[in-house]
Structure 1
Amino acid sequence: MARKSPFEWIKEKLSEDKHIESVEVVNENLLHINRDNETLIRVAKTNLDRFFYKDIKEILQENDVDFILHTSKEPFVDGSAYEFLESKRKVLGGFGDLMRVASQERNWPYYPPNVKFIKRGLEQHTKVTNVRRLDNKRYEISRIGLETVVIIALDDYDLGIESIRNAAEEFDAFDAVLKSNPNGKITTSAIEHVDSRNIKVLKWGELLGKLNLKWK
């Protein structure tokens, strides 16, 4: 039995959604989704696993789409790409993100649930003046009268030393690791590792409390 293409899989899944009027595979890299409120989602597919401003610009120049679907499981996305997407009111995401956008009445705004939770929580903090996504894992937090802080959000159930080491190798500098998954634990070895690097590892409530204080 032939394996379904990504667009065929999406078409099959969305056929179960009562708010989707039709799904048209225009070509192997372009999909149109019509909602029952007559709004259209134009989707372009890409197999890139790293995204910068120039990549998003090239994709949007080639196809005027609302959603860029990445087929990589967890690609690197630079902050310049996010800023350009915001300015154009476009979305970059995976299959789950596309399903959630399709369930909305409009294409924009949209943030993945974990990003939405972190951004909204930080932006509502009384000491925070601005939150900027540096890439798909890191957030730069500007504060009133206090140092700017960079955190990296890791979604592991049990946050261990290997995840933190991998994050340090893949991403630029950060001041703290946020365990963004509310379940599970932070291992002792992970705590000892970040302590040796003068980096904090924090759960959500601990981060909010720490943002009221001088960092170092």
Structure 2
Amino acid sequence: MNWQVKYALDYLNDVGNLSAVHVDGDVIKIEAPKQPNVVAAISAEYTVDIGLAKSYVDSVPGLDFLCGYRAECVWEGATIEYLEDAGIGWGNIGTLASAAIKGDANSVGHKTFRFADRLLRQFGLIKSIEREFDRIYRVTLKTGKVLRIGMLMEYEPTAAGVRSLWDRFGRVDVIWCINPNGGPTTRAIEAADNLGCEVVKWEDLKALMKARR
């Protein structure tokens, strides 16, 4: 049994009334009261690309959910689109546990980014959205102006976090702190300014997009 599967089973069997068992390889099955069973694959990769996603879909009959176990796991945008079109949920182990309890494992996305994604898609001044990665969006406003937006989910994003996102994903126009209970540190704001972008919370991001109409 691979290490990530062992840790996933330990985690899930400690959650509420869930019961999780190993099936084969990276695949587990989860049972929850009054909900359909969930067949999930547990990946230990740092990046989930479309090739990896397709390999699981092709090899695991009835796959309901693909889990990226590592906290550092990054999901490519094409992977997210592919899984959503296929009716397969995706995200971290916490997302999987919640989905098994609620019975919506086939339709959920990573809970860390879910609310932020909804806010963007409901904002009236946006013409189109391209999701490059789970935390990187290319947003075209109705005026035709384009913003590349990166997301940081830490409670208090730091300068190191700002620089790490920039180094990993390239230039962005805005870094959005998506944790509603926190905000960027002064050094994070300074680091973003030195890179030529802004680090903001949602209200400031809305104001920025309105200003660029």
The normalised TM-score by structure 1 is: 0.85
Q: Tell me what 2:64 maps to.
A: 66
Once residues 72 and 82 of structure 2 are traced to their aligned partners in structure 1, the CA distance between those partners, rounded to angstroms, is: 19
Is the Cα–Cα contact under 8 Å of residues 146 and 214 in structure 1 kept in the other structure?
no
- Can you give the 5+ residue segments of structure 2 that lack an aligned partner in the other structure? none
Once residues 96 and 192 of structure 1 are traced to their aligned partners in structure 2, the CA distance between those partners, rounded to angstroms, is: 33
The 3 A distance-change label for structure 1 pair 7 and 207 is: closer
The 3 A distance-change label for structure 1 pair 114 and 208 is: farther
Once residues 181 and 70 of structure 1 are traced to their aligned partners in structure 2, the CA distance between those partners, rounded to angstroms, is: 20
Give the 4+ runs in structure 1 shifted more than 3 A: 34-38
Alignment of 1:29-178 (within 5 A): 29-37=26-34, 39-64=36-61, 65-178=63-176
Is the Cα–Cα contact under 8 Å of residues 96 and 105 in structure 2 kept in the other structure?
no
The 3 A distance-change label for structure 1 pair 34 and 170 is: same
1:154 maps to a residue whose letter is L
Moved more, 108-117 or 161-170: 108-117
The 3 A distance-change label for structure 1 pair 165 and 61 is: same
Which is greater in Rg?
A: 1
1:43 maps to a residue whose letter is A
1:178 maps to a residue whose letter is W
1:5 alignment partner, SS class: helix
1:155-196 CA-to-partner distances (Å, cap 9, x unmatched) read 222222111111111112211011112334423332233223
Once residues 75 and 34 of structure 1 are traced to their aligned partners in structure 2, the CA distance between those partners, rounded to angstroms, is: 25
Task: State yes or no: 1:13 paired with 2:14.
Answer: yes
The normalised TM-score by structure 2 is: 0.86
The 3 A distance-change label for structure 1 pair 211 and 196 is: same
How much identity, in percent, do the aligned residues show?
A: 20
Is the Cα–Cα contact under 8 Å of residues 7 and 25 in structure 1 kept in the other structure?
no
2:140 alignment partner, SS class: strand
2:74 maps to a residue whose letter is F
Moved more, 50-59 or 185-194: 185-194
2:71 maps to a residue whose letter is K
Once residues 197 and 90 of structure 1 are traced to their aligned partners in structure 2, the CA distance between those partners, rounded to angstroms, is: 37
Q: CA deviation at 1:38?
A: 5.4
Moved more, 32-41 or 204-213: 32-41
Once residues 102 and 145 of structure 1 are traced to their aligned partners in structure 2, the CA distance between those partners, rounded to angstroms, is: 42
